[in-house]
Structure 1
Amino acid sequence: MPDQLLLAIQIANGYGPQPGSWRMPGVDPRSYTDMDVFARYAQAAERGKIQLVFLADTPALENDISRAVPNHSIDPLVVLTTMARATQRIGLVATASTTLNEPYTIARQFKALDVASHGRAGWNAVPTSLPAAAANYGIALPPRAQKYQRVHEVVQVVQALWGSWERDAWVLDAERRQFADTDKIRPVGLQGEHVAARGPLPIPPSEQGQPVVFQAGGGGNGLEVAARYADGVYANPFSIAEGRAHRDALRAAAVAVGRDPDEVKLFAGFMPSIAGSRREALDRRRRLDEVVDLDQRVGYLGSMLGLRLEPAQLDEPLTADQLAAARPSPGDPRAPHALQVAREGWTLRDVLAHGVIDYHPVVPGTAEDVADHMQAWFEAGACDGFSLAIDVYADGIDAFVDQVVPILQRRGLFHLDYEGPTLRENLGVPDQYGLDPRLTA
């Protein structure tokens, strides 16, 4: 295990990951398009020495925005460029689909961000699974196996393009009138079954050489991509045991392709809601739930527990007979935790406010409660760090930075300052320029 954990912070739409985040006190409803707001979030995260900001992206309007917020930012690279100008150390990572984008476009945009930020960029390389996103690009989604064949080709072409300038090709010798040594800038000339690129890029290396590659896909195909190319992996385990199994499988897969397993860092998704007490945190999350269909969620909770639950019971706890009959669904990894919370005697509304059906583990409570959860997972080997989906950015980022980070630092679990100016240094991952020679030998 590493000595200290790593932190990424997810910043999506200007508000928070919960549908009702735009309605919370102190939130500017126009934050969706206000770049100054995104800059302030990044500055707050940097004040807490968080290693990187991560912007997921699916280029489609996925949900009903009549009452809820969009899932993603208006454009991740525009937002990250804004953040780059407002910060000095924090990493800047975004998703760009390998299904929908050509490798030259990805290579050019992310390396431009990398040089503009002085070596702080990262690319989350994942295929697209949403048909609506594919339709926006005028294509149909290919079969899964084909999508992942294309992932391998795209990543390799992108990395080759990133290395198309040798490190000392940018001469800038005004006296000799030489801007660059063109003998050290070469086309890559790669042709695969799905993509191709001639190159070179018009961009010299950054202070870290080239962007760091991340991955967030699941299953065996995603694991293979992560093992071969990624230095950071976003994962969604719901228990320590699940996290440990994922991390162990990832490290074994990295060894199998000739990499050092310590190069690949697993970030477990985590949704903290910080308040002065657990009751206050639950009340905060109950307000966030005001725009969602709680009747539907009660039914879903029932299916997780093997019970038939009705909305009329929303403000009551499970009865003794229901608790005796409850059986967590073996097909839902969140179900055991949901039953554990229900057994504490909370009403169904409060059980749901605990986030038992959210897409990451949720801890509603004090800063100590949040830090305890993180320490338990990290010390058990369930992750190398966390990808934080904080409930409401406007005050939640500051609460995490000002209350949780000092606890983690006092416990020796989190660094006191950035290790260097580049993302590679701050993640502790090795230098790479162009393709990894261990994978091309």
Structure 2
Amino acid sequence: MSAYGTQQGAWRMPGVDPTAWTDIDQLVRFAQVAERGLLHFLFLPDFPALREDIERESVMMALDPLLTLTAIARETKRIGLVATGATTFAEPFTIARQFKALDIISHGRAGWNAVPMSDPTVAANFSHPLPPRQEKYERLHETVQIVQALWGSWGRDAWVHDQASGRFADAAKVQPVNLRGRHVASRGPLPIPPSEQGQPVIFQAGGGSAGLEVAGRYANGVAGAVWTIDDARAQRVALREAAARNGRDPDEVKFFAGVMPTIAPTRRAALDRRIALTEGKFEERVAYLQQMLGIRLDIGHLEQPLSPQQLAAARPSPHDPRSKNALKIAREGWSLRDVIAHGVIDYHPVIAGPGVAVADHMQEWFEAGAADGFWIMIDVYQDGMDAFADEVVPILQRRGLFHTEYESATLRDHLGAPAQYGLDPRLVG
């Protein structure tokens, strides 16, 4: 959830308010549409620096993820609210207080995506440089453990609030944590009682072996970056194995595969929509595509399909799982512009067409064991959110693949995650 959509050109599309970046009412409306579609949670990334070419490009992040979700929490009732809170520069006490406050305000719907920061642009906005990778992950592990300990530092029944006796809280049940690691520390306690779900749910959206270890130890939700069913299945298996190694039930961790839908009545109309969204970006995308296929492509031939000679010479990059699909689309005879419009160089599968095509993709991956669920990256929120809620969700419901009402009120229950308050006792010691 940025202000406009997940495609850079969304801010220029017909019907989109170009001032939506600073209009919280717009984001609240989008969240309410997602809740109407019975989605389990909203996910707000964070990048505390300016990286766009703002002469021509919109800023892709919300003004502030936690403040935005706090506003949304007051206008929604069931949908979960997940935000990124990077551990590289933030103190555990600050993270613990902010996310648990959101959890209280939302009545148990908050989630924390715990990741390190890796970009020097971000580091330049803080008081110390990026640490080495190993140190970043050491700090992440310490931070998560201290945060969870702080979340549990106010006993479940410590808040007495007995007006007759005048006793506000049982002080003996509000205890400091006194935890110190190599990188971070906190005395505590956190002066916030438990929410309806106890404490926020941990998410993880990193990658590599270090990210997998974080997810296996702490997370109940993982946002994956995968292009093929085989890759998604392998990542899900690896995640479940990591959870088991840490003494957890693999079913406690849900793997969400990304999907980028562009919904329109026909495939042609959807491709035209994506072409409009990509305006001004074709030159760099053609350059990227020719690297993937190992052949020379000409930006001046956007309206023409690849020649038989180009198709014969093309060799999909063995280092890029998107390459085979790119060549497959090119061999169908689409113009170079249309090949790119199919999303062949996007970082998640792009489904361009009617709602049933999106539902078919999700069903195929789910039934193949490639995902427990999906994180849906809508191209343009202004109409794309409604299209997903009104066209895709009913198809999934008719097929018996998606719920027809919220069965629970908290994010933890939405995910089927076990109860937890404070540190997971299986990881202590």
Band the TM-score falls in, shorter-chain normalisation:
over 0.9
Deviations 1:328-361 (A, max 9, x none): 1011111111111111111110111111111211
Instruction: Give the aligned partner of residue 42 of structure 1.
Output: 31
One-letter amino acid of the counterpart of residue 370, structure 1: V
Q: Is it true that 1:375 corresponds to 2:363 in the alignment?
A: yes
- The one-character-per-residue Cα deviations of 1:343-382 (angstroms, maximum 9, x if unpaired) are 1111110111111111211010010101001111111111
Q: Is the 8 A contact 1:67 1:291 kept in 2?
A: no
Contact conserved, 1:19 with 1:291, CA < 8 A, in 2?
no
SS where residue 279 of structure 1 aligns? helix
Number of matched residues?
Answer: 429
CA distance in 2, matches of 1:356, 1:157: 42
Runs of 4+ in 1 over 4 A off after TM superposition: none
State the shift of 1:151 in Å.
Answer: 0.5
1:405 aligned residue: 393
Listed one character per residue, the Cα deviations across residues 292-330 of structure 1 (whole Å, up to 9, x for unaligned) are: 2x1121121111011111111211111111111111101
- What letter matches 2:92 in structure 1? P
Aligned to 1:312: 300
- Superposition RMSD on alpha carbons, in Å? 0.7
> Within 5 A, what are the aligned runs for 1:4-23?
11-12=1-2, 14-23=3-12
Report the residue type matching 1:325 in the other structure.
A
* Offset of residue 220 of structure 1: 0.3
Q: Which residue does the alignment assign to 1:6? A: none
Matched ranges for 1:79-118 at <5 A? 79-118=68-107
Shift of 1:261: 0.2
1:71 is displaced (CA, Å) by 2.3
Same amino acid, percent of matched pairs: 64
Answer whether contact 1:68 1:291 (CA < 8 A) is retained. Answer: no
Match of 2:22 in 1: 33
Please report how far the alpha carbon of residue 138 of structure 1 lies from its aligned counterpart in structure 2 after TM superposition: 2.3
Q: Distance in 1 between matches of 2:51 and 2:224?
A: 21
- The residue number in structure 2 matching 1:180 is 169
2:145 aligned with 1:156, yes or no? yes
- Structure number with higher relative contact order (C-alpha < 8 Å, ≥ 6 residues apart): 1
Structure 2's unaligned 5+ residue stretches are: none
Tell me the TM-score normalised to structure 2 length.
0.99
Is the CA contact (8 Å cut-off) linking 1:271 and 1:363 kept in structure 2? yes
Unaligned runs of 5+ in 1: 1-10
Deviations, residues 142-183 of structure 1 (Å, cap 9, x unaligned): 110110001100000000000001100010100110111110
Does residue 248 of the first structure (1) align with residue 201 of the second (2)? no
Which amino acid letter does the alignment assign opposite residue 105 of structure 1?
A: T
**Cα deviation 1:57-90 (Å, max 9, x = unaligned):** 1111122121111121110011100110010000
Which whole-Å deviations, capped at 9, do the CAs of 1:176-206 have from their partners, x for residues lacking one?
1011111000000000000000011111000
Alignment match, 1:432 = 420
Displacement of 1:291 in angstroms is 3.4
CA displacement, residues 128-148 of structure 1 (integer Å, 9 cap, x when unaligned): 011111110122111101100
Secondary structure at 1:145 match in 2: helix
3-state secondary structure, aligned to 1:270: strand
Q: Which residue of 2 aligns with 1:77?
A: 66
1:103-252 matched pairs, under 5 angstroms? 103-252=92-241
